[in-house]
């Protein structure tokens, strides 16, 4: 079989790193823990946010930055839960970057926050390459996407601290080997924490809530 490798040059990454470092310092100074939530379109980022707000919203002061190509549907879904939400429309751009998040943070009340969740554009490729200043990257993989995804999209899994395997309520109806996902993802990233969950039924989410709350407490001033 013919196999061709095409290297892709990315000069803009260095400039982004400087902006991400500045965002990180602002978050640290304010005692805010921040996560960058990434996945393919429709894997469940906004549903996870809704569940997380319902569960932790009462005792953790949180805000959300929503990244989308178009529309403010996701920010509206989040605001209806009573949480500060800023919508970034990338106008076709395939990922958030440090500059966009810096601008979005300007419109948040950072003095009264414990947790910032940044929901990236739905894309399992590009967002992994751009640090935003977050403390941890979180990747969601839906079981409906198939168990070959960690090996085919490795960067996302290498960069993340947590993998949420979502939609496990659909496992009886599809061909997906969750153990293969766990095995392949752990091989790419030995420190990856993996939680199998269903944002629809709530199954497995307690472990995620505990993980998140522990990190918020550790970063509080």
Question: Which residues bind to a second copy, rule: CB under 8 A?
Answer: 1-8, 40-43, 68-73, 75-76, 79, 85-94, 99-100, 103-104, 107, 121-126, 129, 142, 144-146, 148-149, 151-155, 167, 169-170, 173-174
Residue placing its CB nearer to a second copy in the complex, 151 or 186: 151
CA distance 139 to 40: 9
Residue placing its CB nearer to a second copy in the complex, 56 or 79: 79
CA distance 204 to 46: 17
Residue placing its CB nearer to a second copy in the complex, 23 or 87: 87
Residue placing its CB nearer to a second copy in the complex, 7 or 58: 7
| Radius of gyration of the chain measured on its C-alpha atoms | 17
Identify the helix (H) or strand (E) that includes residue 115: strand 115-119
> In whole angstroms, how close is the CB of 3 to a second copy at the nearest point?
5
Query: CB-based contacts of 74: which residues, under 8 Å, 6+ apart?
Result: 46, 66, 68, 87, 119
> In whole angstroms, how close is the CB of 185 to a second copy at the nearest point?
14
CA distance 66 to 85: 7
Q: In this structure, are residues 157 and 189 in contact, taking their beta carbons and an 8 Å threshold?
A: yes
Residue placing its CB nearer to a second copy in the complex, 104 or 212: 104
> In whole angstroms, how close is the CB of 57 to a second copy at the nearest point?
18
Q: In this structure, are residues 85 and 46 in contact, taking their beta carbons and an 8 Å threshold?
A: no
CA distance 127 to 177: 26
> In whole angstroms, how close is the CB of 175 to a second copy at the nearest point?
8
> In whole angstroms, how close is the CB of 24 to a second copy at the nearest point?
20
- Dihedrals phi, psi of 180, to nearest 5 degrees: -65, -40
Residue placing its CB nearer to a second copy in the complex, 69 or 207: 69
> In whole angstroms, how close is the CB of 28 to a second copy at the nearest point?
23
Q: How many CB atoms lie within 10 A of CB 136?
A: 17
């Amino acid at each position: 079989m013919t196999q061709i490798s095409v290297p892709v040059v990315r000069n803009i990454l260095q400039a982004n790193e400087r902006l991400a470092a500045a965002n990180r310092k602002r978050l640290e100074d304010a005692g805010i823990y921040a996560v960058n939530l990434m996945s393919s379109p429709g894997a469940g980022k906004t549903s996870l946010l809704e569940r997380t707000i319902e569960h932790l919203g009462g005792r953790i002061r949180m805000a959300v930055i929503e990244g989308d190509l178009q529309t403010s549907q996701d920010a509206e879904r989040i605001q209806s839960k009573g949480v500060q939400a800023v919508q970034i429309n990338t106008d076709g751009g395939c990922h958030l970057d440090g500059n966009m998040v810096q601008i979005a943070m300007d419109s948040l009340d950072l003095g009264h926050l414990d947790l910032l969740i940044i929901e990236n554009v739905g894309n399992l490729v590009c967002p992994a390459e751009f640090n935003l200043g977050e403390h941890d990257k979180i990747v969601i993989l839906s079981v409906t996407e198939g168990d070959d995804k960690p090996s085919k999209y490795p960067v996302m899994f290498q960069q993340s601290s947590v993998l949420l395997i979502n939609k496990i309520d659909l496992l009886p109806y599809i061909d997906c080997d969750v153990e293969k996902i766990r095995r392949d993802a752990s091989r790419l990233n030995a420190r990856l924490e993996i939680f199998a969950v269903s944002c629809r039924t709530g199954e497995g989410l307690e472990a995620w809530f505990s993980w998140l709350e522990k990190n918020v407490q550790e970063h509080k001033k």
